[in-house]
Every structure is written in C-alpha cells, then in structure tokens.
C-alpha cells in the first residue's frame, strides 16, 4: 500500500499514551496513529447511498422474530421472481 507523509500537531499526553500502547502491543507508534487516522476517515465518510435503502410496510407494532423472518423471506422471494434483486 502506498502511503503519504503528513505532519500533525498532537497533544503530548495523547502521544505518551500511544507510546506506551505501542510498547505494550509490540507495534510501532506510527501503526497506532495510522489506525486512528483510518478510524477517523471512516467515521467521517459520506456514503453514496443510505445504509437502509429499502423500506417495508409495517404492522404498527413490534413484530415477532417469526414475523420478521417471514416478511424478509417474502420480500426476497418477490425480488427474485421479478428479477429486481440488488
């Protein structure tokens, strides 16, 4: 994986915690910082489509586990029959 160098300012207390964690885990401080950058990037990513892009009609009450399974199975069956599966 290609990486790009960057400089950031960090709180000295945070850096001390990272140094201690790196020693304890047997990995480099840079690896812990890279993991943190990745988590920050993913937490702030804007996705192209919503997590739940499909809606289902409900009964206006909390469904039982069996009712949920049946509803999902029916939806999958309908999509499979019409050829509109995602």
**Beta strand ranges found along the chain (DSSP E):** none
Q: What is the spatial distance between Cα 75 and Cα 69, in angstroms, rounded to a whole number? A: 10
Q: What is the spatial distance between Cα 41 and Cα 36, in angstroms, rounded to a whole number? A: 9
pTM of the model: 0.55
The encoded tokens of residue 46 equal 């804007």
DSSP at 7: -
Q: Per residue in 51-77, pLDDT tens?
A: 776 776 777 788 889 988 998 999 999
Considering Cα of 7, then 8, then 12, then 17, what sign does the dihedral take? negative
Q: Per residue in 4-62, pLDDT tens?
A: 999 999 999 999 999 999 999 999 999 999 999 999 999 998 888 777 767 767 777 88
DSSP at 6: -
């Amino acid at each position: 994986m290609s990486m790009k160098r960057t400089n950031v300012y960090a709180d000295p207390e945070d850096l001390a915690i990272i140094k201690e964690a790196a020693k304890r885990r047997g990995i480099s401080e840079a690896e812990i910082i890279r993991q943190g950058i990745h988590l920050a990037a993913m937490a702030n990513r804007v996705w192209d489509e919503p997590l739940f892009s499909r809606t289902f009609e409900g009964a206006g009450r909390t469904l039982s586990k069996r009712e949920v399974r049946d509803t999902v199975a029916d939806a999958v069956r309908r999509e499979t029959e019409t050829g509109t599966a995602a």
